Structure 1
Amino acid sequence: MKQHIIILALLFSTLLSCGQQKGKQLSQKEVADLAVEMEGGDNSGDLPWRLKLKQPLPFSKGGDWFKDAGLGLFIHWGPASAYYGSPWKMRRPSSKGATTPMVSYEEYYTTSTKKFKAENYAPSLWIEAAKKAGFKYVVLTSKHHDGYTLWPSHHTDFGVQKYLNGKDLIQPYVDAVKENDLKLGFYYSGVDWYLDRDYMSLMKTKKGELNWKGEYVKANTIPSLPLKIIEQKKKIALELMEKYTPDLWWWDSGLPLSLEETAHTYNTDMVFNNRGNVHHKDFKNGPYPGAHYVTPENFHNVQWKYMKKLQEKGIKWEVCMGINLGYGWFYDGSSKDSERIRDLGDIMFAAARVRSWGGNLLLNIKPRPDGTLPEENYKMFERMERWMSHSGISFFNVKGTHFPEHSNVPITTSKDGSIWYIHARPGESKWQKGGFYEHCEPGEPIRIQNIKNVVSVKLLRTGENVSYQFQNDELVIENPDANPDGLHEVFEVKIKVVQ
């Protein structure tokens, strides 16, 4: 492991002196552009931009927990939960080719803040249930793209300070996470469509670009974000870090903040994802805090051809996906899908696939605007808890493998390689030809090649030995049906390790 990378701090001492990194002086406009735009990064080379680790950081001893965490809980909750489930709807056309957004800027900011009341907010119920289900860390949307802060910030007037009489929605969450001995994480958006509104295009149409007032503007006439707003946004982020000292910081677009201004100041063991480094025009020369791991979204890029490269490069990764059905990451009261969840058999097999490739799975839930969680989520947690009680050993403190090169189902192993955990395919599923079940063979026996010295095979749920065939370094086991909870079974294969 290389020595800790020292990233030069960027200090905005004057409006004309914007700092530098790697000897390059950044102009005021360059810093401003980086701090407001949300564009994908560079897809050249052997990895998509979401899987690239720019300015990599080694894990500190106190941050090593992330490597084997396995399962995280993502919580999207805020004003968007009270109004159509996504702030992006004010930036999406109402129909194909339309020149008006799905929701107007004014409508979103007026209505969502009135309806988001959090009157029944009890995060301890969510966190306690998640702990029993096997989750190891939790990430809450402290401030999403709409700019609403869930804590009473002293540096912005858009948040609970104004709309909920200063009620702190972060502290109860922090207390619940710590009481359950989980790792504390915050999602944080560097872009802020409230503070940035006069310096951005809200939506592109065939007629031109619309600003937040619904007026057409020319892109080259939109002024750069003033440095005083960049400074304001930095203060908001640092305030959150200082007040609650999280273990993990989940950027979803970053800010021109150095490592010294963040982790080195507030928590030397803080873990960062890579979205603070690559989400704004690739951040080629920006002063950003670096990253410990990469985090693709859903399963678009979770393919073996990419995951193998991450394994070979020793890059840790996490993939986020939603538990509930429906559009967007937030609760949408206009859709019954927000009350329903995906097939848990699919979710757990997706989790096995992620763990077999050495990644963590960050599963998102959608609390209602009043702070309650749909009952289906609690039922799901209970089913996960039962699965973890007998098969959790195959999920945590394990190593990944080269599935699918030598098997037709995901495999994890003990750290010393003496035990292999075979994650059996759970039967028919609408996802069987999709990303979750890629490389698996419906209706076929489990086949594992290049395996030696098999001693025994048993079913983890029951502890019973099962019959198998083993010859020419190939292990064959009949694929079982799903367990009584509809989730996949796991076989424990003991191997005689020859020194």
Structure 2
Amino acid sequence: MLRKNVIVFSVYTLMILVTVSNNLSAQNTKRDGVKEEHSQIGIERQEGKEHTLHPDAQWFPDAGLGLFIHWGISSVRAMNISWPMIPGRPLGVTRIDNQEERNRIIRDMDYNLNGKKPEITPLEYWEMAKDFHPDKYNPELWIKKAKEAGFTYVVLTTKHHEGFALWPSAYGSFSTKNYMGGKDLVRPFVEACRKEGLKVGLYYTGPDWYFDKDYMNFMYHRVKSLNPELPSLGTDLKPRTNTINPDDEKKHQALYAQMVKGQVEELLTNYGKIDLIWFDGKPGIPNADKVITQERIRELQPGILINPRMHGKGDFITYERRLPESRPQDISWAEFCNPWNGNWVYVERPYKALGSVLSELVKCRAWGINYLLGFGPMGNGSLAPEAYSNMQKLAEWMKLNKDAVYNVRPLPATEKASVLASVQGNKRYLYLVPTFKDNRSSDKDLLPNEDIVVTLTGITKPRKVVFQSNGEKLKFQFSKEKSEMTIAIPATQRSNLVDVIAVYL
């Protein structure tokens, strides 16, 4: 919120400071961008030790693979969603007390001399709503191809932090009601999922930077906390000079709460059964987690799953972009979300190699976690050709290996494997993942496969061991004394994707 006494900085100086980018990139290596974004949108904790026992929700631990579709008005320019209107991220690393260093930054980043400026102001960002005309929107094709690729549930961003709602909401003034003649983009998505038998997930975020535009500071929040003397930025990314009347602010907060509650209830009552609601932060108002309670949500949708990013606790934990170092032990259900091309929405950049994506998928399944893989449509509403071609590659792998993805559980504590592994009844699945150099994930970064020996201990003697993809039998050795099986696998039998070995006990 605005400070009542504003210190006036030179616009020239401030714009330079908050738009620092490449020259400070070396300082960003230790920054956890996901954690900092979460802090800005009010995600402080996530608890998921318990989950709903409603029978309609018990599909979740066996779902395996979900699709995360991010879409909004940013697709008009094929740019990142919401966050480009919040400048100053590079300065959110550490406070710069040294005046000489500050002067150097100002000199080197003079946007008048070097042509550098903020990527987009909030006002310019919201103007994209006028050009958002997805006349090639065809979610039936999206969902059909997703099902063929092995996805079992889909989550759509009905409203991101930018504030634009993809349905004609009766609340607020920034939705398809105001810009698309009342066209509903959520309903066709829900109907397509039901037609193909996929579970329906709706993403909704509490932060609404459009609705809150006259009250919030459009500066990356860590910059302000590290440099409190900097003034708040308005929708033009210039220092605010006005003050806020406390009574007006209270009225605004009441309307904000009313909008969030009303929009969530619209999503949960206008489209039939919804299987999952995916929150992403709290509205910037007092008692934000009580605007709409989980009890009210379950009253409207008894069998729904709720993630913990609004209320601090939910039916499952959501990991983003980075999994824990080791298998989590103190949670019930969990999900890992990560974009396929490094960006949640459509941007012109290559997709990660399928071998890299599959490596993340099987790690999740070996740990009892679902994998929510993300990409987004273009501004016209169609998916890019790269999205379809990559889903087709995934479909070909899943056709042969899907049994090792669905309905599997982590190995029991009495068993151990030298590679990622899971259990399904009397079968054990061993996952052989490719290696990429320097943690990169394109095909050109693949390292050659090597001969390996895989061990599985704590088991009875296997009846047979085969490659899951083709049923080819593999020779193995078994030590009854050690309850240990060993399999020697030459590099020539490996692929550039994830190879799965099925062990039948």
Residues 58 and 480 (structure 1), Cα distance of their counterparts in 2 relative to 1, 3 Å cut: farther
Code of the aligned partner of 2:307: N
Give me the whole-angstrom Cα distance separating, in 1, the residues matched to 2:339 and 2:168: 28
Any idea what the Cα deviations from partners look like across 1:326-364, whole Å, max 9, x if unmatched?
A: xx41123xxx30xx2101011011100000000000000
Residue in structure 1 matched with residue 377 of structure 2 by the alignment:
367
Moved over 4 A (4+): 94-101, 217-225, 402-405, 427-430, 480-485
User: Equivalent of 2:146, from 127, 130, 135?
Assistant: 130
Residue in structure 1 matched with residue 297 of structure 2 by the alignment:
262
Instruction: Classify the secondary structure of the residue corresponding to 2:402.
Output: helix
Q: CA deviation at 1:219?
A: 12
Instruction: Classify the secondary structure of the residue corresponding to 1:148.
Output: coil
Give me the whole-angstrom Cα distance separating, in 2, the residues matched to 1:483 and 1:168: 50
Give me the whole-angstrom Cα distance separating, in 2, the residues matched to 1:271 and 1:104: 36
Q: Percent identity?
A: 29
5+ unaligned residues in a row in structure 2: which ranges? Answer: 1-38, 92-104, 112-116, 283-287, 443-448
Flag the structure with higher helix content.
Answer: 2
Give me the whole-angstrom Cα distance separating, in 2, the residues matched to 1:324 and 1:268: 35
Give me the whole-angstrom Cα distance separating, in 1, the residues matched to 2:309 and 2:469: 39
Give me the whole-angstrom Cα distance separating, in 1, the residues matched to 2:209 and 2:493: 47
Instruction: Classify the secondary structure of the residue corresponding to 2:452.
Output: coil
Say whether the 8 Å CA contact 1:90–1:103 is kept in structure 2.
yes
Give me the whole-angstrom Cα distance separating, in 2, the residues matched to 1:482 and 1:91: 50
Give me the whole-angstrom Cα distance separating, in 1, the residues matched to 2:125 and 2:441: 38
2:267 is aligned with 1:240: yes
User: Equivalent of 1:115, from 123, 128, 131?
Assistant: 131
Say whether the 8 Å CA contact 2:451–2:488 is kept in structure 1.
no
Give me the whole-angstrom Cα distance separating, in 2, the residues matched to 1:138 and 1:92: 31
Instruction: Classify the secondary structure of the residue corresponding to 2:377.
Output: coil
2:254 is aligned with 1:227: yes
Residue in structure 2 matched with residue 273 of structure 1 by the alignment:
307
Instruction: Classify the secondary structure of the residue corresponding to 1:246.
Output: coil
Residue in structure 2 matched with residue 198 of structure 1 by the alignment:
214
Instruction: Classify the secondary structure of the residue corresponding to 1:446.
Output: strand
1:391-402 superposed matches below 5 A: 391-401=401-411
Q: CA deviation at 1:476?
A: 2.0
Say whether the 8 Å CA contact 1:395–1:412 is kept in structure 2.
no
Residues 356 and 490 (structure 1), Cα distance of their counterparts in 2 relative to 1, 3 Å cut: same
Give me the whole-angstrom Cα distance separating, in 2, the residues matched to 1:218 and 1:320: 40
Code of the aligned partner of 2:455: R
TM-score normalised over the length of structure 2: 0.76
Instruction: Classify the secondary structure of the residue corresponding to 1:73.
Output: strand
Give me the whole-angstrom Cα distance separating, in 2, the residues matched to 1:404 and 1:425: 23
Q: How many residues align?
A: 417
User: Equivalent of 1:68, from 62, 65, 71?
Assistant: 62
User: Equivalent of 1:309, from 300, 322, 329?
Assistant: 329
Q: CA deviation at 1:487?
A: 1.9
Say whether the 8 Å CA contact 2:55–2:303 is kept in structure 1.
yes
Q: CA deviation at 1:482?
A: 8.8
Instruction: Classify the secondary structure of the residue corresponding to 2:456.
Output: strand
Residue in structure 2 matched with residue 378 of structure 1 by the alignment:
388
Residue in structure 1 matched with residue 339 of structure 2 by the alignment:
322
5+ unaligned residues in a row in structure 1: which ranges? Answer: 1-35, 42-48, 279-289, 435-440
Q: CA deviation at 1:246?
A: 1.4
1:339-378 superposed matches below 5 A: 340-378=350-388
User: Equivalent of 2:169, from 138, 146, 153?
Assistant: 153
Code of the aligned partner of 1:64: Q
Instruction: Classify the secondary structure of the residue corresponding to 2:203.
Output: strand
Structure with larger Rg:
2
Q: CA deviation at 1:213?
A: 4.1
Instruction: Classify the secondary structure of the residue corresponding to 1:363.
Output: strand
Q: CA deviation at 1:86?
A: 2.1
Q: CA deviation at 1:403?
A: 9.5
Residues 481 and 208 (structure 1), Cα distance of their counterparts in 2 relative to 1, 3 Å cut: farther
Say whether the 8 Å CA contact 2:452–2:491 is kept in structure 1.
no
Residues 249 and 218 (structure 1), Cα distance of their counterparts in 2 relative to 1, 3 Å cut: farther
Residue in structure 2 matched with residue 10 of structure 1 by the alignment:
none
